[in-house]
Amino acid sequence: MAAVKEILLETLMDLNHLDLGSFKIFLNFESFQNKFPQISWSDLKKSNCKNMVDLLMGSYGQQCLEVTRQVLMDMNRTDLLEKLPEKSCGAEAKRHGNETNIVCFGLTSEALRGFLSEKLPADQRSSAALQKEWNWTFRETDQAGRDQIFKCSSCPFPSEEFQSLLFQKETSQQGHQETPDFNLQSEAGLFECSVSGLRWFCSERVVFRYRFCSWDGHMERMESRGYRPAGPLLDISLITGRMTEVFLPHWICVDDVRKPLEQFAVLHMDDCGDAVEKVSEVSPSHVKLAEPVFSPRAVLMRAGFPVKVYCNMLLYRTNTAFLTLHVYLIPRDPALQQAMDRKESSYGYKVIQKPDPEKSLKMNDYFFLTSDLEAAEVSPKTGIKLRYPRGKPNFFEVYVENANRNFSLTLRPDREDQPVWECSVRKGPMSIKAVAKHKIGFFRYATDKEMLLNLMNDLKQEELKGFKWFLKNRDVSSGFPQIPVTLLDEADASDLVDLMMKTYSHRAVELTKDIFKQINRNDLVE
């Protein structure tokens, strides 16, 4: 811990007096938001750098580096992050870390044998019989039941029987985007990766890697053959060993699917092109591949009839004094979720963890998002169609200028009163951080607003009209929220500046420069 103390002290010594005050404000917020031990404000207020290090280590122990890292990220002091060793822990590591050891769960062959031997006569306990019995257990048990088998405290296995797998996450380039590669290894047994839902059964040690691939560019080919995506597209490479069976995840609710073996298929892509293969077994969450050949693979389903799918609700919020939420409704595709996480974070949005809908929802139905907070503006008011998106998926935007109380969000299908999803948005953590950032950046905000107003007043009437046109018709993939058209049409120069500052905050200047170039007023850009 002496080395940790030295690193923390060296890092905090690079903060000036004002930055150290900001560090204390954000530390107070992070402790509240993440339910860390709370350091009293009186202790924080009077502490210098050395005292701060003692408080961090005494209050957070081994988590002190991670807490410090998060606070520096909130302060946009990425220059100081390089001084901290790369380390993630807990739930956050599953999504953002480079390495963790509890990302996959499963049981070794010995544990499987112990679990199933009581169910089988002594003369029927061969490896093949155990594998068949285990497959039946997985096929007939829902996710909650599987979680109980693996994780429940009443589980018949001692803790050392659980297989803890080394999980490494690397980054590679796929097209224009960086895509993580997941490297895994396991002994003989049956396991499931909690990131992708991929399962495998092996009778020997295996080492393999996989990565998510985008469906963009492949969906049209599948539709031309009468299929649609039913699971994530996974590029799997086996490095050493042999897998007896692989179970690919899907998001289809099979309750209403007649003859599922005829409706499901598996996509296999190689240098020779696409192949659509029949499946031998379908469970509520997976399809089975026996003696698999590895390549980009995914579960498909025949198109042309309505299906229900299990969905994710993804919520992202801004770190500004005004609350803006982006709310996505997508099929339960971890690849798409990770792509949205990366895209939203690049625009300064942060993830809000909320439960997903419990029941499956019908594809191609429209859904509407509402709030019990009268001041909340939700768009689009016409609803969003549940579909697998081509390109960037559509989303709801929720804007609240002053979130002075907790409020709820509710999702309902078109022409139905019964909600399919609800969540509470608490004003506490967001308002604390918003106030902190608002105080720290207030002078810049006021200066930007005054500057934009002076520039807008320099535009002729036709130029102002052109500015509004480009603001309304910009590329939706740019990541800037939409200002309601009715407000734009009626706005004069000062109203327009108010709308842009409320909607885009510090990014209003960046957007204004881009539009000035489009209306040939480069003189104002300077």
Q: SS3 of 354, please?
A: coil
Structural domains in the chain plus CATH codes: 2-87 (1.10.533.10), 104-302 (2.60.220), 309-425 (2.60.40), 435-525 (1.10.533.10)
Please give the structure tokens belonging to residue 207: 């080492």
Q: What is the pLDDT of residue 338?
A: 87
For residue 141, what pLDDT is reported? 43
CA distances from 348 to 175, 351, 503 (A): 23, 10, 13
Question: Which distant-in-sequence residues (6+ apart) come within 8 Å of 198 by Cβ?
Answer: 192, 210, 234, 236, 246, 247, 248, 249
**386 in helix, strand or coil?**
coil
Q: What is the DSSP string of 241-270?
A: S-EEEEEEE--B-GGG-SSHHHHEEEEEEE
Contact in structure between 311 and 288 (CB atoms under 8 Å): no
Q: Which two tokens stand for residue 338?
A: 């990770």
pLDDT confidence of residue 98: 36
Distance CA 348, CA 456 (A): 26
Contact between residue 63 and residue 51 where contact means Cβ atoms under 8 Å apart:
no
CB 384 within 8 A of CB 367: yes
The pTM of this model reads 0.56
The pLDDT score that the predictor gives to residue 109 is 56
HSE, CB side, 13 Å, CA atoms: give it for residue 454: 8
Give the separation between CA 242 and CA 188, rounded to whole angstroms: 10
Provide the 8-state DSSP code for 83.
T
Q: In the 8-state DSSP scheme, what is residue 337?
A: H
At 246, phi and psi to the nearest 5? -130, 140
Q: What is the pLDDT of residue 1?
A: 62
**Core vs surface per residue 336-355: b (16+ CB within 10 A) or e:** bbbbbbebbeeebbbbbebe
Taking the C-alpha atoms of residue 515 and residue 500, their distance in angstroms, rounded to an integer, is: 13
Cis peptide before 380 (omega within 30 of 0): yes
pLDDT of residue 489: 84
Residue 56 is encoded by which pair of tokens? 């961090």
Along the 526 residues of the chain, how does pLDDT read in single tens digits? 677 888 888 888 888 776 787 788 778 766 655 556 767 767 777 788 888 898 888 888 878 888 888 888 877 777 787 777 754 333 332 333 333 333 445 555 555 555 555 555 555 555 555 555 555 554 444 444 444 343 322 233 333 333 434 444 555 544 445 567 888 888 888 787 877 888 888 888 888 889 888 888 788 888 888 899 999 999 999 999 988 888 999 999 998 888 888 889 999 887 777 888 888 889 888 998 877 888 888 999 998 888 999 999 999 998 666 889 999 999 999 889 888 988 888 888 888 888 899 899 999 999 999 999 988 999 999 999 999 887 778 899 999 887 778 899 999 999 888 999 999 887 644 444 444 444 444 444 446 777 788 788 888 888 888 889 888 887 655 667 788 888 888 888 888 888 888 888 778 888 888 888 888 888 787 6
Between CA 489 and CA 497 the distance in angstroms is 13
Strands 286-290 and 199-202: unpaired
